[in-house]
Structure 1
């Protein structure tokens, strides 16, 4: 594995929700749910650690924070009641693992960050904005919405299928691959909506048309200033759904101004090997102790 040299401080912001769901479904798909002798399901915990620690080894951060959703009620559901309304309930085997993963992060000395009324995305956006002026920031996620947070000192690491497979986005690579600036991600979502988050954008405008419009006119505001240059069909669709266009753009935008208590020094990665080993012994995960190299030294 290639390890990026750690020549200066850097912050890894972990999308805990994305890693947890990915870890759960990747292993649950086999039909086997890992459990402790007492019956506690731990497949998501185990998979989470594999994804997480692989990224730590590869990107070699000096500081880490892990961000979480608190519940389904956020300022976005107040703006649009159907927001994420298409999501099914979490599987019974996953629900107890949510707290266990946070306990694991605690044992690693990594802050678990969340805020009432906001999503993990907003916590990540806020911390990225706060720390990117002092250090390089890496955001570990599977959510392409996070690409709007990319800047010269903030990179978004998109997890791909399999362990250790990532696409790392900077402003340059985002422009090369998608021909988009970070802010244009929000305009694109405003137009095309997001089926995963269950908001519609402009009905009848899909990704291909939305991308064409954003590339041609630069932004939603640019499009609205040039309605006379659009085909009658596209113009009619936009004018019919103008309110939803603006609302969808608001829903797509990650907030970067959440009130969070998260001290930079508290995020410094300094493992207490005995504490970490004790936690994974409790979870009956000796293999993790081995490949993290955290066997307790006081035995």
Structure 2
């Protein structure tokens, strides 16, 4: 009996070790450096010599949080703090469970006055709630990212946010528009697209009111978003981070273009310099509707 029990424990330990190693590989592939072309789809933020990658659903939430920071007139530092917090609390996923009654991107608790479960599960609401609390922290821009996050969250693990500073700062820099063409996404081929009205409504939810025009041709529907210089690259990167869910196949802004076909499968060329972009416009080409 003892020998069987020993064998059982060895099997448990072996499985546990495998899971831990696999988890470590997953974390490495998720957060550090650019993913290998052709092996996975996601988005990479590059600032200087440093590159960090996130999965597509994480990138969408990152873009939303960063856009709301810009919409509120908050600095990129605020976005970095929010991203580090959400990475620690939920891995940047809008989950409906957590410790005690915690839910959502920031694991906010209804019992602690953050709102109802339904409100907190709305990423726009929960992000604004986080920024409302952060804005009340005196001189938060001068604090470390970890300390500012901890003052808002009051976590039982007060030093846990620091580990996410490099990736959060890189994505915040790109997605608030501080680093032009600093975000690249590798995506599968588009299988369809949202309507221009749907994309515009989502963009306005993230960034506030926008003027826009549309045109339609065989290649698909083109949506032109009129932007200020302050919001130009933020809006372009927001659209790129959401290109998978909206069926965006091409993006252009300020003399640069991103093409889905050039960043699909084994390809990963990023933004390319082009001629003929319209000043003050982020131009999105949506995939044509399927035939039949």
Q: Note whether the superposition's TM-score is higher than 0.5.
A: no
**Which gives a bigger RCO, structure 1 or 2 (Cα 8 Å, sep 6+)?**
1
Q: TM-score, normalised by structure 1?
A: 0.22
Counting strand residues as a fraction of each chain, which structure ranks higher? 2
